[in-house]
Structure 1
Amino acid sequence: MTCWFSRARARAALAMGLALSAIAIPAGAQDLDSGYCQLAPITDTRVGFAGREIVREVAVELGQRVARDDVLVRLDPAGLPARLERARAELRQAERAMDRANALEGVLVAEERDQRETDLAVRRATFQEIELEMQRLTLRAPHGGIVVEIMAREGELLEDSVAMRIVELSRLLVEADMPLGRFGSFEPGQILRLETETGGEAEARITFVDPLADLASRSFRIRAELDNPDGFFTPGTTCVLLE
């Protein structure tokens, strides 16, 4: 997903003689040499699953804040619970047989002992395989954040689908297009001062400076991170870099 301000859009707006204020960019952004920027979530994850599955339960609501490993969606397990119980019973039986073999170590022939070891290994692998399949049917949050999209519905049959989108807004990504004349003026670790389109000022730390320039727009990209613990700054809004 491309988050930074479209160069093509900027060129088109200039060609048509549109006032930059019409696209809700701060007044300082009217100077192209200042560099446009846009705020976006650093962490934006679409959680999904593979295969054909029926949604049994959607455990969260739109706009809900979740923590890492919180349950998001449960899929229909069909006959897996019964298979898991059978595999558990067979594993216990194989373990008891192995215990008896160990107790009779001086009596059992090597071939019979090897057979019991092999059977135990197979039963253990089968149980673990079904257990992992059961875990796959419970979708959990990969990180903390806010649920901003829910694509799964209870009772629906979905196939290789994205079920949910989660964004974390405590830190934001600042992506900017800078004019080619300022190439070499920025480096990772440098602090940027910026003004958002809502009028707030902030400081962000540069994490990346593009070593390549875009010849069509005569510009290059920089990226910075902005702390946003109180949610004051809004991702998706534009900003302008200050001197």
Structure 2
Amino acid sequence: MSFWHSPVLTSILILFLASPSAAQKLESGYCLLAPIKDTNLSFSGRELVKEVTVQLGQEVHAGEIVMRLDGAGMPARYERTLAELQHAERGMVRADILGRVMIAEERDQREMELAVKAASAREMELELERLNLRAPHDGIVVLIAVREGEMLEDSAAMRVVDLSQLLVEIDVPSDRFGQFEVGQEIRIRTESGAVVSVTVVFADPIIDLASRSFRVNAVLENVEREFVAGTSCILID
């Protein structure tokens, strides 16, 4: 679970909205800036960390290997599987050369052997690839939970956050229900006082009974990282 959708953050927002100043802000729409892409990388199982290829604060790109796990004797088994596959391929080449001289049953057997060896090699490749943890998207490494030589179990190993776009989560009073739609441009004021336009990507179709408000999500472009995730804002349109 991301921090931005955690019970802790919910409690903070409840305390904020309970204050007198918050009531005034809610009249226009109180909002929070959060990363759109905030991913915890984990591994199913229990493996030894062989190598951490990135550092805290480093920018990574989608698909880049950020951590390698120890495959024990798997690389050697993979080499043996490749050797067996090459032997089966050579046998199939000889079968093609012999042509009509080779009986059909023997040819079928060689074809089956080749198919089995190819499948085994592919299975080993997938198993080896599973030991490489890759960045799911562009972003910055903000947490490294394990180091080389440590055991990685069913827990988060690394956290990658993309700050090039921010999600603007707005609580809007119920009297403005129906005034927002996907694709609409609205304006917010950030904590620094900057007034910026954001694009609506979601408008809640229901009103929360307890707070008498509804949720609107928008996207704020942040390629230059001018705006900080975790800060608040106010809807001013």
Query: If the length of structure 1 is used for normalisation, what is the TM-score?
Result: 0.90
Q: 2:210 aligns with which of 192, 212, 216?
A: 216
What is the alpha-carbon distance in structure 2 between the residues aligned to residue 194 and residue 101 of structure 1? 73
| Alpha-carbon offset, residue 11 of structure 1 | 4.5
| Alpha-carbon offset, residue 65 of structure 1 | 0.8
Aligned to 1:9: 15
Checking the alignment, whether the CA contact within 8 Å between 2:58 and 2:141 is kept in structure 1 is: yes
One-letter code of the match for 1:152? V
Q: Deviations over 1:38-67 (max 9, x none)?
A: 000011111121111000111111111112
Q: Secondary structure at the match of 1:105?
A: helix
| Alpha-carbon offset, residue 240 of structure 1 | 0.3
What is the alpha-carbon distance in structure 1 between the residues aligned to residue 166 and residue 151 of structure 2? 35
What is the alpha-carbon distance in structure 1 between the residues aligned to residue 16 and residue 151 of structure 2? 43
Aligned to 1:23: none
Q: 2:119 aligns with which of 115, 118, 125?
A: 125
What is the alpha-carbon distance in structure 1 between the residues aligned to residue 3 and residue 201 of structure 2? 17
Checking the alignment, whether the CA contact within 8 Å between 2:26 and 2:171 is kept in structure 1 is: no
Q: 1:142 aligns with which of 136, 139, 145?
A: 136
Q: 1:230/1:13 Cα in 2 relative to 1: closer, same or farther (>3 Å)?
A: same
Say yes or no: does 1:174 pair with 2:168: yes
One-letter code of the match for 1:37? C
Q: 1:233/1:158 Cα in 2 relative to 1: closer, same or farther (>3 Å)?
A: same
Structure 1, unpaired ranges of 5+: 21-28
What is the alpha-carbon distance in structure 1 between the residues aligned to residue 137 and residue 29 of structure 2? 32
What is the alpha-carbon distance in structure 2 between the residues aligned to residue 229 and residue 102 of structure 1? 58
**What count of residue pairs does the alignment treat as equivalent?**
231
Checking the alignment, whether the CA contact within 8 Å between 1:3 and 1:175 is kept in structure 2 is: no
Q: Secondary structure at the match of 2:205?
A: coil
Say yes or no: does 1:189 pair with 2:197: no
Say yes or no: does 1:32 pair with 2:33: no
What is the alpha-carbon distance in structure 1 between the residues aligned to residue 119 and residue 81 of structure 2? 10
One-letter code of the match for 1:33? E
Q: Secondary structure at the match of 2:38?
A: strand
Q: Secondary structure at the match of 1:44?
A: strand
Q: Secondary structure at the match of 1:234?
A: coil
**Structure 1 stretches of at least 4 aligned residues deviating more than 3 Å after TM superposition:** 1-7
What is the alpha-carbon distance in structure 2 between the residues aligned to residue 168 and residue 11 of structure 1? 28
Checking the alignment, whether the CA contact within 8 Å between 1:3 and 1:38 is kept in structure 2 is: no
Aligned to 1:26: none
Q: 1:138/1:32 Cα in 2 relative to 1: closer, same or farther (>3 Å)?
A: closer
Aligned to 1:241: 235
State the identity as a percent: 54
What is the alpha-carbon distance in structure 2 between the residues aligned to residue 118 and residue 219 of structure 1? 65
Checking the alignment, whether the CA contact within 8 Å between 2:168 and 2:220 is kept in structure 1 is: yes
What is the alpha-carbon distance in structure 1 between the residues aligned to residue 151 and residue 232 of structure 2? 39
Pairwise CA RMSD: 1.7
Q: Which 10-residue stretch deviates more, 151-160 or 82-91?
A: 151-160
What is the alpha-carbon distance in structure 2 between the residues aligned to residue 3 and residue 55 of structure 1? 28
One-letter code of the match for 1:32? L
What is the alpha-carbon distance in structure 1 between the residues aligned to residue 80 and residue 4 of structure 2? 50
Structure 2, unpaired ranges of 5+: none
Q: Secondary structure at the match of 1:38?
A: strand
